[in-house]
Amino acid sequence: MMIAALGTLVFLATLWLLVVVGAAVLEESGAKIAAALKGKLDRPSIASVRVRVRTRPRFQQPVRVSATWRAAA
């Protein structure tokens, strides 16, 4: 009979701990979460960041492979 009471107590303590941790997380980052849900960003958009793309030369010469290399492949 005592097991049910202890189980209930453990369950309620765990639930209380989750609520406290959740409240702390929302207190720290609640404004960021709300802004993200509204679609507002604090940082610059991805489109404004310069990206350098390296491309291969347009006319690349084919690689000459000997017969022994082809056989090994």
What pLDDT, on a 0 to 100 scale, did the predictor assign at position 37? Answer: 86
What pLDDT, on a 0 to 100 scale, did the predictor assign at position 38? Answer: 87
Q: Which stretches within the chain are classed as H helix?
A: 2-38, 67-72
What pLDDT, on a 0 to 100 scale, did the predictor assign at position 17? Answer: 97
pTM of the model: 0.43
Residue 33, C-beta contacts closer than 8 angstroms, at least 6 positions apart: 26
What pLDDT, on a 0 to 100 scale, did the predictor assign at position 47? Answer: 54
Chain segment 32-69, per-residue pLDDT in tens = 888 888 887 656 555 556 667 766 666 667 777 666 65
Rounded CA-CA distance 60/63 in Å is 9
All structural domains of the chain with their residue ranges: 21-52
